[in-house]
Amino acid sequence: MKNIVIGILVLLVSFTAQAQVKKNKNAKYNIEVNGNCEMCKKRIEKAAYSVSGVKSADWHIDDHLLHLIINEEKCSIAEVKKAIAKVGHDTDDIKATKEDYEKLHGCCLYERI
């Protein structure tokens, strides 16, 4: 009886270990970030790179998309969005505080919805 219980426990542990999600070391994301100009581009990309695990960050003025490659073992997309919001730029689901937004240069003040 004792051997059966131990066998079942070993079996359950092995299934649990296999069920864990493997994180991607080169995960690609495109997120919308509000901004207007080259100064915004530099600020947004610098904020993204400030998060450990960000491998590539390229923000496009024309479509307001930030193209990211991150190591999901070191960071999450939410951490990157928080860093960007902290420098005054709204993302698709995390908004900058009013105080952070108002610190932006005059030409960088985008229309907030």
Would you kindly state where each structural domain of the chain is located, as residue ranges? 22-108
In the numeric block, the tokens 């928080």 are attached to 82
User: pLDDT for 30-68, tens place per residue?
Assistant: 999 999 999 999 999 999 999 999 999 999 999 999 999
Fold classified for 22-108: Alpha-Beta Plaits (3.30.70)
Which pLDDT score, from 0 to 100, does residue 13 have?
A: 66
Say which residues have a Cβ less than 8 Å from residue 44's Cβ, sequence separation at least 6: 33, 35, 57, 59, 66, 84, 87, 89
Residue 21: pLDDT band by 50, 70, 90 thresholds? low
Across all residues in the chain, what is the average pLDDT? 90
pTM over the 0.85 mark: no
